[in-house]
Amino acid sequence: MAPLKLNYDPHTLRHSYTRATPFPHIVLDGLFDDADLEPVLEDFPKPEETRWLRFDSPTEKKLGFYHEVSTITDRVRRFLDAMNGFEMLLFLEALTGMEGLIPDPYFGGGGVHQIEPGGFLKVHADFNVHPKLKLDRRANLLLYMNKDWQEEWGGDLELWNASSSVKKIAPLFNRTVIFSTTDTSFHGHPHPLLSPPGVTRKSVSLYYYTAGRPEEERSAAHDTIFVSPDSAR
């Protein structure tokens, strides 16, 4: 794969990112060239093609990347590796103001994901410390891979404050959402997906870390914090 090409200047976006509500974030359409994403979409594993981490509970019903055994093609693997490379790290540092960002070579909780019809992910704040590396989780990057997505299928990512939805983001092809990860960065896809049989909501997720975090953001290590199993029912 050629060096990762990013189609925005992060320095011009930093003010918008840091001032966004309900927490620092940005939505970028066309951050990547479509041509760089086409091979990833072509090789995106179907639900039956590989071994997924299958979640089926009142808080989440989805397929996650099982990094030790999930089978992905070389083209998908090269793209995931590029997302952990220096081009992306420097872009994110300039965008967020977070210095010394560290990628996750284990793709813990990250990688390729998809949600089948009827699936969902209730509103939550993410785990805050990497279980292996003991680093502080600071930023999420979600890249959506859904062409010809129809509004009536739902699947919007919702950004919440402590009690209600503030922003909805449709999961369109080559749309990237980047946001700061804290104990109050509540987000999710809380409504069951209404896409037709065989049509899944596909995404690529990357998480980035630092060795330490601002004092005002510190808390004891914790797993995912769901607002409520019934959030946005």
Report the CATH number that the domain containing residue 199 is assigned in CATH: 2.60.120.620
Does a structural domain hold residue 232? no
Q: What pTM does this model have?
A: 0.95
The string of pLDDT tens digits covering residues 106-128 is 998 899 999 999 999 999 999 99
Could you tell me the maximum CA-CA distance found in the chain, to the nearest angstrom?
47
Cβ atoms of 24 and 140 closer than 8 Å:
no
pLDDT digits (tens, 9 = 90+) for 45-59: 999 988 898 999 999
Is 64 within a domain? Answer: yes
Give the three-class secondary structure for 151: helix
How many CB atoms sit inside 10 A of residue 101's CB?
A: 18
Lowest-confidence pick of 89-93, 131-135, 171-175: 131-135
At 233, is the pLDDT very low, low, confident or very high (cuts 50, 70, 90)?
Answer: very low
Task: Report residue 210 as tokens.
Answer: 């630092």
**158 in any annotated domain:** yes
Q: Which residues pair with 26 in a beta bridge?
A: 178
The reported pLDDT for the residue numbered 1 is 62
Structural domain of 198: 10-212+219-226
Kindly report which listed range (59-68, 83-92, 136-145) carries the lowest average pLDDT score: 59-68
